[in-house]
Amino acid sequence: MALRRMRNRAVPAETAPVIPTEVIDGGAIPDNDPLFALLLATGGPVEVDRITITSPALDEIRQQGIQLIVPLISQGELIGTLSLGRRLSEQPYSTDDRKLLAGLAGQVAPAIRVAQLVRQQEAQAKERERIEQELRVAALIQQTLLPKELPQLPGWNIEAYYQSARAVGGDFYDFIPLTEGRIGLVIGDVTDKGVPAALVMATTRSTLRSIATQHDDPGKVLALANESLVPEIPPAMFVTCLYGILNPETGDLVFANAGHNLPYVRSADGVRELRARGMPLGLMPGMVYEVNSAKLDLGETVLLTSDGIVEAHSADGEMFGFDRLMELVGKDQEEEDLISQVLEELRRFRPSDLEQEDDVTMVAIRRASSALESASAFGDEPGLISTFTYPSSSGNERRAMDEVADVVAGLGMNGDRLERLKTAVSEATMNAIEHGNHGDPAKLVGVDVLASTKRILVRIRDQGTAPVPAALIPNLEAKLAGEQGPRGWGLFLIEKMVDVMRTATNDGHHTVELEMSREGD
């Protein structure tokens, strides 16, 4: 008796990937071959000559001169066969032979099965590690390219939220500084996931960044981005993207949309959609993008979102949907933190044990309803509330004084302390006009008002290069006696009027910073 060869067949696996090394065995019996079912049904040694069915596998077996096939069965699965040629004695296989072979097969089958499972699990672990590694790379690309900090716009509160799915999607958002204090707003979503999506996201982001600084028309920016992305993006992929230009001073938002979710505006009257038509980027060249504009009034919030929100599923398989999101944006006008509201609703909708299917990205841009609101959003660290510039001509110190007074009065400062700050602002601005900028109207004085919950800061900046002299205490007796000139009160007054005065000279600027505590206001 000779054990000619053992045939091995890959275990059919629904969920695990099929491992090539185990499949490449020309002698395997396919599981759709009638012989497969016959061997499984018989369960014991079968003489090839006695098989009457038509089977391609059987033809091959006959050609190889095999006389007896012993199926190896473990837990009801055919995992291989023992195939025997003719006996050396030229005698047919006896009943004892068959018993012996059947016994042997019964012992060998489980051992082979175990060996197969071990190999399979090793391969699966390697594959999992490879996928994890790829996800880490994709997450890294994405995190590197998302903005590290949010822009600080006077009178605006900007918040962003990004939570990647386990299989990192291609969501992104960006803020692009433009001329005249305007800012470019981007939110986008690359179809596909993982490293390929992250790479396309990176390309799209840098393409938009370079085009946005050269064109003021958002439709043109998207059209040019599309032209440049079409040859760069794999055919099956595309990018949805909204691009808008916000003028923080007026609240005007001009925007175009390459097939991305519509932004919603929370306003006093409820909610409105910002519609503009356009095809996703990267699909085909020659696309044109409709441009529309909107005005964000005081207290209004525009919410930009990605698919991860509206396409989230509940336990029953229901989608979150646009209607639900829109309704949410339209209610609870009083609540300022729109992102938290949406996240809370999303958590209620999607049970926590359900995996997040796609990246969830939101950007909320809220125009403060008042200076007070802007300041309270900054917490302990003062943030910019308002900014002014004045040509260096006499009299503008009064404009600065009155305009700063309006802002800080809005922050609740009043009475003596307001009057003191006004005098200090006027004096510091006059110094900037006359000393720092030598009364040259072409040189500007910048005045910034910053506030936190605790403090108000006013920074007055000129283009002077010589250090600001220390405040001397003027000697009134000497002045009255004609021993000193009558002037020289400015810095002395400033220092007396405010809680703290700081001066700095660097990068071709003097800056005088006036600080007042907000306690008691």
Partner 1 sequence: MPGTKFTASVRKEASGSIIDLGGDIDRSAGVDLAAAYDDATGSGNGTDPVVLNFSQVDYINSTGIAVIVTLLAKARAEGRPLRAYGLSPHYEEIFQITRLSDFMSIHHNEPEALALT
Closer CB to partner 1, 160 or 401, in the complex: 401
Q: How far apart are CA 512 and CA 431, in angstroms?
A: 10
Cβ of residue 159: shortest distance to partner 1, in angstroms?
Answer: 36
By CB under 8 A, name the one of 151, 251, 330, 474 that touches partner 1: 474
Cβ of residue 251: shortest distance to partner 1, in angstroms?
Answer: 24
Q: DSSP assignment, residue 434?
A: I
Side chain identity, residue 81: T
Residue 462 binds to partner 1 (criterion: CB under 8 A): no
Q: Which two tokens stand for residue 225?
A: 């981005």
Side chain identity, residue 144: T
Cβ of residue 392: shortest distance to partner 1, in angstroms?
Answer: 14
Q: In 173-278, where does DSSP find H-type helix? A: 194-212, 218-229
Residue whose pair of structure tokens reads 């605790």 in the numeric block: 454
Phi, psi of 243 (to 5 degrees): -130, 125
Residue 435 binds to partner 1 (criterion: CB under 8 A): no
Residue 348 binds to partner 1 (criterion: CB under 8 A): no
Closer CB to partner 1, 64 or 394, in the complex: 394
**Count of residues touching partner 1 (by CB under 8 A):** 28
Residue 472 binds to partner 1 (criterion: CB under 8 A): no
Task: Tell me the three state secondary structure of residue 186.
Answer: strand
By CB under 8 A, name the one of 50, 148, 348, 487 that touches partner 1: 487
Residue 24 binds to partner 1 (criterion: CB under 8 A): no
Instruction: Determine the Cα angle at 409 with ends 403 and 415, to 5°.
Output: 115
Q: Which two tokens stand for residue 259?
A: 């097939």
426 touches 380 (CB < 8 A): no
Phi, psi of 160 (to 5 degrees): -135, 150
Closer CB to partner 1, 261 or 396, in the complex: 396
Closer CB to partner 1, 358 or 397, in the complex: 397
Q: Which two tokens stand for residue 270?
A: 């409820």
Reported in sequence order, the residue ranges of 9-136 that DSSP labels E, i.e. its strands, are 46-47, 68-74, 77-84
Cβ of residue 397: shortest distance to partner 1, in angstroms?
Answer: 7
Closer CB to partner 1, 142 or 396, in the complex: 396
Q: How far apart are CA 467 and CA 436, in angstroms?
A: 9
Compute CA distances 430 → 460, 467, 509, whole Å.
Answer: 10, 16, 15
Q: DSSP assignment, residue 176?
A: E
Residue whose pair of structure tokens reads 């001329």 in the numeric block: 179
Cβ of residue 210: shortest distance to partner 1, in angstroms?
Answer: 43
231 touches 281 (CB < 8 A): no
By CB under 8 A, name the one of 482, 506, 507, 508 that touches partner 1: 482
Residues 57-86 that bind partner 1 (CB under 8 A): none
Closer CB to partner 1, 235 or 395, in the complex: 395
Q: How far apart are CA 197 and CA 407, in angstroms?
A: 46
Cβ of residue 394: shortest distance to partner 1, in angstroms?
Answer: 9
Residue 432 binds to partner 1 (criterion: CB under 8 A): no
Q: How far apart are CA 445 and CA 432, in angstroms?
A: 7
211 touches 224 (CB < 8 A): yes
Q: How far apart are CA 15 and CA 229, in angstroms?
A: 36
Residue 386 binds to partner 1 (criterion: CB under 8 A): no
Closer CB to partner 1, 290 or 403, in the complex: 403
Residue 489 binds to partner 1 (criterion: CB under 8 A): yes
Residue 470 binds to partner 1 (criterion: CB under 8 A): no
Cβ of residue 426: shortest distance to partner 1, in angstroms?
Answer: 6
Residue 419 binds to partner 1 (criterion: CB under 8 A): yes
Side chain identity, residue 10: A
Element (H, E) at 121: helix 95-145
Q: DSSP assignment, residue 471?
A: P
Residue 148 binds to partner 1 (criterion: CB under 8 A): no
By CB under 8 A, name the one of 306, 426, 452, 511 that touches partner 1: 426
Residues 170-189 that bind partner 1 (CB under 8 A): none
Q: Which stretch binds partner 1 (CB under 8 A): 103-111, 166-174, 190-198, 413-421?
A: 413-421
Residue 500 binds to partner 1 (criterion: CB under 8 A): no
By CB under 8 A, name the one of 2, 442, 472, 481 that touches partner 1: 481
Q: How far apart are CA 223 and CA 464, in angstroms?
A: 45
Closer CB to partner 1, 428 or 449, in the complex: 428
Closer CB to partner 1, 257 or 396, in the complex: 396
What is the distance between the terminal CA atoms of the chain, rounded to a whole angstrom? 105
Residues 387-406 that bind partner 1 (CB under 8 A): 395-399, 402
Cβ of residue 504: shortest distance to partner 1, in angstroms?
Answer: 22
Residue 258, strand partner residues: 241
Residue 503 binds to partner 1 (criterion: CB under 8 A): no
Residues that bind partner 1 (CB under 8 A): 395-399, 402, 416, 419-420, 423, 426-427, 430, 474, 476, 479-482, 485-490, 492-493, 496
